[in-house]
Amino acid sequence: MPRPPARRARRIDVELRRGERVRIEFRNRLAEPSIIHWHGMIVPEAADGHPRFAVGSGGEYVYDFTVRNPAGTYLHHPHPHGLTGGQVYRGLAGLVIVREAEERYPVRPHPGARPPGSGDEDGIR
């Protein structure tokens, strides 16, 4: 079995607001297939990150869903068949924090977030 690379990914946490519609563009820069599963999140099947949706190296997948979950802490992790453990071990997992609509947002900006008042507060890129 090949040794996993020593390099670890920087953990990415995502903050979402209940009721917002989100669009997340996933680009696979690994040398092996991957796909992201939003663990505990109520999402349409096509946005659930099932292994059959895994994309190969260089591939892309767009998630589009409305946040239905109540406020809480969830998580995302890769879910390619037979490769999940190694990818999580190398750091590809993070928190998904859902906040209620009336909570201040974003509490802690995440990569790609647009600041409140920029006219596109619902979008994450």
The residues of the shown chain that bind Cu ion, judged by CB under 5 A, are: 39
- Beta strands 36-39 and 72-78 are antiparallel
Rounded Cα distance, 95 and 25, in Å: 17
Distance of CA 113 to the CA centre of its chain: 13
Nearer to Cu ion, 18 or 39 (CB): 39
Nearer to Cu ion, 39 or 114 (CB): 39
Q: Give least dist CB 37 to Cu ion, A.
A: 5
Q: Give least dist CB 50 to Cu ion, A.
A: 11
Q: Which residues contact 102 (CB under 8 A, 6 or more apart)?
A: none
Structure-block tokens of residue 80: 């390619």
Q: Give least dist CB 36 to Cu ion, A.
A: 10
Nearer to Cu ion, 15 or 48 (CB): 48
Which residue, judged by CB position, is nearest to Cu ion in the bound state? 39
Nearer to Cu ion, 75 or 113 (CB): 75
Structure-block tokens of residue 116: 């409140």
Structure-block tokens of residue 58: 């260089």
